[in-house]
Structure 1
């Protein structure tokens, strides 16, 4: 089974900036993905505040299939 979310671009500092949902075909910016996580659309992900920036991260668990890379 493919990973649900794929990172499609990063900033020069390595921050994930754009994302693709492999199940729905939706492309999202970081802020759009954060909003969808906060709305409960992506249960396997949560938002962390990293250096003052809301950042999507996968929930810690035993699987690597939901990791962002």
Structure 2
């Protein structure tokens, strides 16, 4: 059975994903999701840090664009 995926619900004008729909949690801000992902609570996702220091959530690469965030 495929796990439900995290979806983006809100982004800034520059394209930074800041709101997410997390299965079992509902609407979740980026500031709350990042520590959960870093703690390994969401299989298939990781965090990245932009050169300007902004952390963001990304889906793990698997060759499919269909399941990417954003």
The answer for the alignment partner of 2:26 in structure 1 is: 26
Give, in whole Å, the separation in 1 of the partners of 2:3 and 2:59.
15
Give, in whole Å, the separation in 1 of the partners of 2:25 and 2:38.
20
CA shift, 1:66, in A, is 3.6
**CA-atom RMSD in angstroms:** 2.0
Q: Which runs of 4+ in 1 moved over 4 A?
A: none
CA shift, 1:6, in A, is 0.9
TM-score between the two structures when normalised by the length of structure 1: 0.82
Give, in whole Å, the separation in 2 of the partners of 1:3 and 1:66.
11
TM-score between the two structures when normalised by the length of structure 2: 0.81
Greater relative contact order structure (CA < 8 Å, 6+ sep)? 1
Structure 1 residue runs without a partner (length 5+): none
The answer for the alignment partner of 1:56 in structure 2 is: 57
